Structure 1
Amino acid sequence: MEEKRLLRKLDYRILPIACLLYLFAYLDRTNLGNARVLTGTRDGKPDLTTDALGGDPTGVLYDWVNSAFFFSYILFQVPATILSKLFAPRIWLACAAIGWGVSSTLMATGFNFGSLMAARVFMGIFEAGFGPGIPLYFSFFYTRDEMGLRMAYWFGFAAVAGAFGGIIAFGVQNAIIPFSNWRLLFIVEGLPAICLGIITIFVLPDRPESTPFLNEREREIALSRMNRGTSGDVGATVNKAHIGMAFRDWRIYAGGAIYFALNCSLASTSAFLPTILETFGFTAARVQLMTVPPYAVTAVVLVGTSYISDKLQTRGVPIALSTALAGIGYLILLVVPNNVHARYFATFCVTSGCYTSIGLIIAWFAHNLGSETKKATGIPMFMAIGQCGSVLGSHLFPKTEAPRYIKAIAVCCGLQFFGALCALVLSISYRMDNARRNKQYGIPDGEARVDVAKLADKAPNFRYII
């Protein structure tokens, strides 16, 4: 009963802030897709490409502005997440939010290709300190039985951001203002991140052993939960040996391959979904609203699948099935060129499958790496590898290949089925390793503390989630 009360207390304090932070992070990361088709409906003001990119007839400049975020995001993820262990989590995450909020807001002042690129690069730097940091932070407070659903709530706000992005863009498109409407979009979606970052400093709890948010009895329970089936660090420490172990772990690279496939789809969908829907023959205003339903359904599918995954304590098979669903969506887009209803249904498959798999794979690695330092290295490692897929995805839909975008859709389709295969291989590997340890060392008590200080996830009594 005490543990349930503590869990509710943690949920009420941590989840709203973390989810809202991700909502604004994702809005700021993906609003280029809406800005690209956004014009003033009453006065015909120019869109982003006409106003700041000189028309960009091939779409190449837009692609580079979109992908600039991912270059800095990839480069800074591993060092930023390791470095985050040396600071209070609330301060680190708050500064990241304020930083990307400022960068996003400054996009509104962009006047040419270089200025937009600079803002996107700095946005990537600041978000690199946030994205991989949240799974590590959650692992301080939530057990492996609870992690999947909490990560679903958190990552589900990426889907919520997709839905809200369309609604906000629809409203901004109808605003009567003395400057281009796409500039207002960046202001409206950038300023809230700055405000929320300031709130985070005062609201988000620090590590269980140091936060005044918990009383002594709650802290005792929280530390016991933190050491259930593994063991947490005490204070701000980095185990250098575990950094090397992470770089030598083939499973992290396999996870990176899955994440690469998923992020290629995620980046291309978030940046180009309005463009794809525009090829269905919808008006620009209707396109903004038509982006909402796929993301709304995605949020429901993500939470439902993650709940089942937690109950069954399996990640690999749900990831494989969800990724295959996204592949089927792309297949429909390839083979059904003229049926608008079927093609629109395919976008539901793509978003639901892709977002669900990403939420699950983050939860998978948040508890399968053993020690905090290996998590702080391994999580951003596989995420950085995966974000290379985002760079690819952001270049797959040049205007010159409209309206079918056959090459882009075929690449995404193949990658989804490849990701599903990798997830099955990884799940089988974990099952075999658990079986070998059970045979060699016996079946451990799942509630007992496991000393991972030396061997991380290779400790004899550590067991993987399959």
Structure 2
Amino acid sequence: MAAAKDDSITGTDNAKHGSPRIRPDTAENDDAEFNLRLSEIVVRKIDRHILFLLFVTYNFNFMDKTILSSASVFGLREDNHLVGSQYSWVSSMFYFGYLFWTYPTTILIQMLPVGKYVSGNAFFWGTVVALTATCTNFGGLMSLRFLLGIAEATISPSFVYITSMWWTREEIPSRCGVWFAGNSLGGLLSNFLAYGIGHIKRPLAAWQWLFIVLGVATFLWGFVLLFYLPDTIASCTFLNERERCHAEERVDVAGTGRTRHEWKREQVIECLTDPKTYLFLSISILTQIPNGGTQNFGNLVLKGFGFTPLETTLVTTPASIICICTVLITGWLAGMYQNATTYFICGIVAFPVIGSAIIYSHTSKGVKLLGYYFLSSGPAALPLAMSLVAVNYKGSTKKLTMTAILFIAYCAGNIAGPQFFISSEAPHYPTAFRAILICYVLVVAASLTLRFYLQWMNRKRDQQERETPVEPESRGDKRAPSTWWEEDVELTDLNTPGFRYRM
């Protein structure tokens, strides 16, 4: 039972799903050892192929979305004749497009081949980004930012769907953290890119080159997704037949069930009447109001601290590094300590509370910069919330509906965020930093409320099962592979015997 060079398990098949021929007297131990080794190989292959594609795509997703902030200090506002609050509306318009397309795209994610659908969106959004370089006025920017929002609305919901398709409940938090870290690395790379391109003066303006370079790169990456991102476990080519069977069995037994392509109205209703849905909605919108503001006004805020346009692209580098480390570390810890995620969210947002208070109350350039760096951990709360959605919602339609709600709230927060950066209050924006402080305090309250609710639900289920015992094979994560009745009737988290919520 050794691994071949391609990480495949060797052996002679003697069963339907490829079990190795083993001696009867050691069958049980050898079978356990074989399954453990097979799981390690399968997970390693999935991480190497799927996680890498998600991570790089999220890099492009973030860079293309936020390059507007860098472009703003390299002449975009002046060349497009933006006045008053017009730049705020250009920033927000992306999220109007995102909001418009979020729910329709979640339906399409379930019904269409997800790999092909994601790659198609990459082609579309790369084209839109490149065309932004042709804009000369407010109307042109508004139109293309709306289209970019439509194009990118598919990425995060599809990644939550793909993550729950390939990994188990124990593995989901850390994997969400890894691909979401592409956000922060994308921010870091875009800073270096902006610094280099910022020195270009002709024949086009630096801000135009930013959009052209990123747009073309994203379009080319779409071909990689088209050929290498599989639609399902059954259609992937990097696993052999035995490994594909095992990968499907893993998510069926220790995940949230196999993905289905039928949209079920009753699961939509169940999601909308589930109290935890609105707690997740609150966490999402409250974390994204600060994010929407700092993401689009961050470079302008730093410029207001006294830095030059080129310096602003460099001093944001530590902020990106802080965010990357926070996302990866908390994602890994959430995977290790599966019922501490809400505590991690509270810890993450404590630093932005301090940072916003520092920026609001101090005038020193150095102290304000320190406060700005404290804000950098805030975005790490969202991937933890997404991982909680992925592990606590069962049923493909219900999970995708909740994902849509999560990102509708995400859009609402990002639309509202820039509006707190009032142009007449530049460069200090006191209203904005008061709003950031209040939002993060409310995130703590919402996270703790969610924790208490999930604890109450688990205790309630414990009580019910003591009164009406459940067969061991149907208990939560340890239940046996799906039986014929589970295949015909897809169970949700509310009606799965033994299901326990992670918090």
Bigger drift between 186-195 and 337-346 goes to 337-346
Choose from 284, 294, 305 the match for 1:280.
Answer: 305
Structure 2 Cα separation of the partners of residues 390 and 253 of structure 1: 18
Aligned ranges for residues 322-333 of structure 1 at < 5 Å? Answer: 322-333=348-359
Deviation of the 1:293 alpha carbon: 0.9
Cα displacement string for residues 245-297 of structure 1 (whole angstroms, at most 9, x for unaligned residues):
12222211211111111111111111111111111111111111111111112
Secondary structure at the counterpart of residue 367 of structure 2:
helix
What TM-score, normalized by structure 2, do the two folds share?
A: 0.87
SS class of match (1:191): helix
**Larger displacement relative to structure 2 (242-251 or 407-416):** 242-251
What is the CA-CA distance between 1:445 and the residue it aligns to? 5.4
For 1:279 and 1:36, how far apart are their aligned partners in 2?
Answer: 13
The match for 1:447 is 478
Alpha-carbon separation, structure 1, partners of 2:476 and 2:406? 30
Match of 2:78 among 41, 47, 50: 50
Match of 1:393 among 395, 413, 417: 417
1:99-248 to structure 2, matched below 5 A, reads 99-229=124-254, 231-233=256-258, 235-248=260-273
SS of equivalent residue, structure 2 residue 111: coil
Q: 2:338 aligns with which of 306, 313, 317?
A: 313
**Which region of structure 1 is more displaced relative to structure 2, 6-15 or 171-180?**
171-180
Alpha-carbon distance in 2 for matches of 1:79, 1:252: 19
CA contact (8 A) 1:243 1:374 kept: yes
CA distance in 1, matches of 2:269, 2:103: 12
* Distance in 2 of aligned mates of 1:29 and 1:454: 37
What is the identity, as a one-letter code, of the residue corresponding to 2:500? R
Asked if the contact 1:22/1:157 (under 8 Å) is kept, the reply is yes
Any idea what the Cα deviations from partners look like across 1:380-437, whole Å, max 9, x if unmatched?
1122123201001122223310122111110111011101110110011111111221
The match for 2:428 among 387, 390, 404 is: 404
Q: For residues 396 and 257 of structure 2, what CA distance do their matches in structure 1 show?
A: 6
Fraction of identical pairs, as percent: 27
The correspondence of residues 240-389 of structure 1 with structure 2, limited to 5 A, is: 240-314=265-339, 315-335=341-361, 337-352=362-377, 354-389=378-413
Q: Hey, what does 2:30 align to over in structure 1? A: none
* Cα offsets for 1:83-140 (capped at 9, x unmatched): 2111111101101111111111110011111111111111111111112110111100
Question: Which residue is equivalent to 2:440?
Answer: 416
- Of the candidates 44, 69, 72, which is equivalent to residue 36 of structure 1? 72
User: How far did 1:75 drift?
Assistant: 2.0
Alpha carbons 2:167, 2:255 under 8 Å: kept: no
Gaps of 5+ in 1: 39-46
Aligned to 1:20: 56
**Residue 34 of structure 1, CA deviation:** 0.5
Q: Which residue in the other structure is 2:40 paired with?
A: 4
- 2:96 matches 1:63: no
Instruction: List per-residue Cα deviations over 1:180-225 (Å, max 9, x = no partner).
Output: 1111111111111111111101111221233344322111211111
The aligned amino acid for 2:79 is D
Cα RMSD (Å): 1.7
Partner of 1:44: none
1 CA distance for matches of 2:141 and 2:184? 25
Q: Which residue pairs with 2:20 in the alignment? A: none
* In structure 1, distance between residues paired with 2:310 and 2:262: 52
Given residue 492 of structure 2, which amino acid in structure 1 is its aligned partner?
A
- Partners of 1:231 and 1:283 in 2: how far apart? 50
Deviations 1:3-43 (A, max 9, x none): 011101001111121111111111111111110001xxxxx
Question: Looking at both structures, which has the greater relative contact order when contacts are Cα pairs under 8 Å and sequence separation is at least 6?
Answer: 1
TM-score when normalising by structure 1: 0.94
In structure 2, how many angstroms separate the alpha carbons of the residues matched to 1:225 and 1:440? 28
| Native 8 Å contact 2:394 2:493 kept in 1 | yes
Report the Cα offset of residue 235 of structure 1.
5.0
Give ranges in structure 2 of 5+ residues lacking alignment. 1-36, 467-471
Instruction: Quote the residue 2:502 is aligned against.
Output: 465
Q: Structure 2 vs 1, CA of residues 454 and 179 (structure 1 numbering), >3 Å: closer, same or farther?
A: closer
How far, CA to CA, are the matches of 1:462 and 1:209 in structure 2?
Answer: 26
The separation in 1 between residues aligned to 2:325 and 2:306, in whole angstroms, is 28
Distance 1:70 1:266 in 2: 12
User: Residue in 2 aligned with 1:42?
Assistant: none
In 2, the alpha carbon distance for the partners of 1:90 and 1:367 equals: 22
Q: Which has the larger radius of gyration?
A: 2
SS of alignment partner, residue 236 of structure 2 = coil
Segments ≥4 residues shifted beyond 6 Å: none
Name the amino acid aligned to 2:120.
C
Q: Distance in 2 between matches of 1:285 and 1:454?
A: 55
